[in-house]
């Protein structure tokens, strides 16, 4: 079952702003390295830190199953919680960037610019022959 909907899990924040996607989750959802994911990260309420809204960013998963949290996002999170977050438990939600049904329908309705140009040239060519 590929990742078609949001999945929530908890994990520890490793040094260098890395989080690990659990192996069973990667296998079950058939996640591959380099796949673009939409990620929401928040501090677990049980950590005793002031709760804040989830931070959202896009990330590609590495070959080892880790996601890197952008430095700016980490700075915002640390500023809001006023604490160092390395080793803390985070609530993580990952979801696909586009749902497969949306991607398929949008590719059918939209035509490529090259196709549009070719159609315009054909119409222009047929208009010249009429003259």
Give me the CATH number covering residue 52. Answer: 2.40.30
pLDDT digits (tens, 9 = 90+) for 13-34: 999 999 999 999 999 988 889 8
- SS3 state at 104: helix
Please state, for a pLDDT cut of 70, what percent of the chain lies above it.
76
What pLDDT, on a 0 to 100 scale, did the predictor assign at position 59?
93
Do 16 and 79 share a domain, yes or no? yes
90 versus 127: which is more confidently predicted? Answer: 90
pLDDT at 48 exceeding the cut of 80:
no
CA distance 49 to 43: 8
* Average pLDDT estimate for 83-102: 80
- Give the pLDDT band of residue 47 (cuts 50, 70, 90): low
CA distance 80 to 95: 24
CA distance 19 to 36: 15
- Give the pLDDT band of residue 119 (cuts 50, 70, 90): confident
Total Cβ atoms within 10 A of residue 59: 19
- 89 lies in some domain: yes
What pLDDT, on a 0 to 100 scale, did the predictor assign at position 78?
83
Do 75 and 15 share a domain, yes or no? yes
pTM listed for this prediction: 0.66
- 1 lies in some domain: no
Do 32 and 69 share a domain, yes or no? yes
């Amino acid at each position: 079952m590929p990742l078609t909907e949001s999945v929530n899990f908890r994990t520890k924040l490793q040094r260098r702003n890395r989080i690990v996607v659990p192996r069973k989750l990667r296998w079950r959802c058939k996640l591959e390295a380099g796949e673009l994911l939409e990620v929401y990260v928040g501090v677990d309420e049980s950590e005793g830190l002031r709760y804040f809204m989830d931070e959202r960013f896009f990330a590609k998963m590495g070959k080892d199953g880790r996601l890197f949290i952008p430095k700016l996002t980490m700075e915002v999170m640390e500023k809001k919680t006023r604490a160092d977050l390395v080793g803390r438990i985070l609530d993580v939600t990952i979801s696909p960037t586009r749902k497969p049904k949306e991607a398929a329908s949008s590719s059918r309705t939209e035509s490529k610019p090259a196709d549009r140009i070719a159609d315009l040239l054909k119409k222009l060519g047929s208009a010249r022959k009429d003259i």
